[in-house]
Amino acid sequence: MFDVVIVGGGPVGACAGALLAGAARALSVALLEPRPPAPLPAGAPVEARVVALSRASERLLVSAGAWPQIAGPRLSPYERMRIWHESVAPASDAVLVFDAADVGEPNLGYIVENRLLQWALLEAFAKAGGHIERASLVSLEITSGHVNVHTSTGMLSARLVVGADGAQSAVRQGAGLTADTHPYRQTAIVATVASARPHQRTAWQRFMKDGTLAFLPLADGTSSIVWSADDEVAAGLLAGSAQRFAAELDRASDLALGKTRLVSERTSFPLNALAAQRYVAPRVALIGDAAHVVHPLAGQGVNLGLLDAAALAQQVAAAVSAGEDPGALRVLRAYERWRKSEVVLMSTAIDAFDRFLAHGAGPLAQLAQRGLSWVNRAPELRRVFIRRALGMSGELPRSAR
Ligand SMILES: Cc1cc2nc3c(=O)[nH]c(=O)nc-3n(C[C@H](O)[C@H](O)[C@H](O)COP(=O)(O)OP(=O)(O)OC[C@H]3O[C@@H](n4cnc5c(N)ncnc54)[C@H](O)[C@@H]3O)c2cc1C
């Protein structure tokens, strides 16, 4: 019998595993992942799927023992963000600029390849004594004393099962936990591009009436774009040639980085919001995208999920040290209360950005658009937002402080 079985070895599940297996009073932890990634060969081109990690996530990854594998030449710190609405020019004074130097920090965070992040966390989990089962969840059997986890290769028993199996979570469904979903009617197009002007270790983001375009600076001088466009617009962008796409990108970016050229394939992700009504049930806890999916415009999905992993690990480790059952609803509810309020706050803010800045029309939208330049002219307010972006506000788990 394991203390904990984690279903899903994406970045969030792997992080929960590494923190639990590495806790002061180490727990026995198994993790199911049907497709664990291979390490990236040295010198391989940068992968198109990347994420922006906050300072809080960096600290968590240090605590989880994964940072040494990540902090190499492929890691790309970014020092500034430039955020503007299409109604103003990319070089104008109305552009909102967040600069790490304004709060005495060396950077605002890092751009990391998804695959490197996931691989490093699974390595850290295995090194801490965790057991990785290359298998999928088939069904759950929840009893009063334990959970039987039926997998594609057999059965594991545990006192707690953690659903870290992404937006389509089989754990969520198996435990009878319901979720509210709504489509944004947008598709995110992800690709790597070279640009005529250097990215200056800056993340660039432009809000437009039909979507949001972000350039995330990569270590090799290229940028990873995340273009969240209304579905019909995205379909056209994906259907055209690479040259046509670059021309549309130059129009959409207002040439903020000069002319661009595609250096990878385009991949696309339909965008849907998801919010589980409950994150926990007896002997079951949901973390990461299994519990909540937010719009990628603020680059917060993994950052929120890593904080879920750390908060749950902290509650569970404390319960076990106190001789309590880690699957008891009392323990899990404390995790839910903590994280759900933080996630609801963040997802409401992100949806407001999408509604008023990316798509807005009318007085409220104009107010929000002007708000960018007002914030830019108010140094104290700007610092508040920078600290939010660094993930250093709110109630942080010990491993992220
Ligand atoms: C275009 C785009 C850009 C983004 N950019 C950012 C960003 O800059 N910053 C940020 O913080 N977030 C970003 N996100 C969000 C981020 O990618 C997700 O929030 C993150 O991947 C969630 O991690 P997870 O581990 O919870 O889920 P996932 O990454 O979905 O991992 C789930 C894992 O579970 C496994 N699994 C699934 N079903 C089963 C099963 N039945 N049994 C066993 N295992 C199973 C899968 O194989 C997978 O490995 C972005 C998202 C998109 C779409």
DSSP string, 265-324: --EEEEEEEEEES-SEETTEEE-GGGTEE--GGG--HHHHHHHHHHHHHHHHHHHHHTT-
Q: What is the pLDDT of residue 336?
A: 98
* Structural domains in the chain (count): 2
Instruction: Report the run of H or E that residue 25 belongs to, with start and end.
Output: none
Please tell me the predicted confidence (pLDDT) of residue 245: 97
Domain boundary among 271, 299, 334: 271
Phi, psi of 211, rounded to the nearest 5 degrees: 150, -165
| CATH code of 236's domain | 3.30.9.10
* Ligand 1 atom showing the smallest separation from residue 32 Cα: 43
Same domain as 229, residue 260: yes
Q: Are residues 265 and 278 in the same domain?
A: no
Final residue of a structural domain among 223, 247, 271: 271
Nearest alpha carbon, ligand 1 atom 30: 166
- What whole-number distance in Å separates Cα of residue 199 and Cα of residue 274? 33
Question: Pocket of ligand 1, candidates 49, 58, 151, 165: which has the most ligand atoms within 8 Å of its Cβ, to mutate?
Answer: 165
- The residue among 214, 238, 271 that closes a domain is 271
292 C-alpha vs ligand 1 centroid, how far in Å?
A: 11
- Judge if 188 and 153 occupy the same domain: no
Q: 105 and 46 in one domain?
A: yes
Per-residue model confidence (pLDDT) at position 360: 67
Ligand 1 pocket, residues with Cβ under 6 angstroms: 7-13, 32-35, 51-52, 136-137, 164-166, 170, 188, 190, 226, 269, 288-289, 296, 299-303, 305
> Measured in Å, how far apart are the chain's first and last C-alpha atoms?
32
Please give the model's pTM, rounded to 2 decimal places: 0.95
Q: Is 225 exposed, middle or buried (0-12, 13-18, 19+ CB in 10 A)?
A: buried
Domain that holds residue 196: 184-271
CA of 9 to the centre of ligand 1 (A): 9
Residues 50 and 143 reside in one and the same domain: yes
In the predicted model, residues of the chain with pLDDT beneath 70 are 360-361, 364
Q: What is the CATH number of the domain that holds 77?
A: 3.50.50.60
* 43 Cα: distance to centroid of ligand 1 (angstroms): 25
Give the model's pLDDT for residue 356: 74
Pick from 289, 297, 307, 354 the residue to mutate for probing ligand 1's pocket: most ligand atoms within 8 Å of its CB: 289
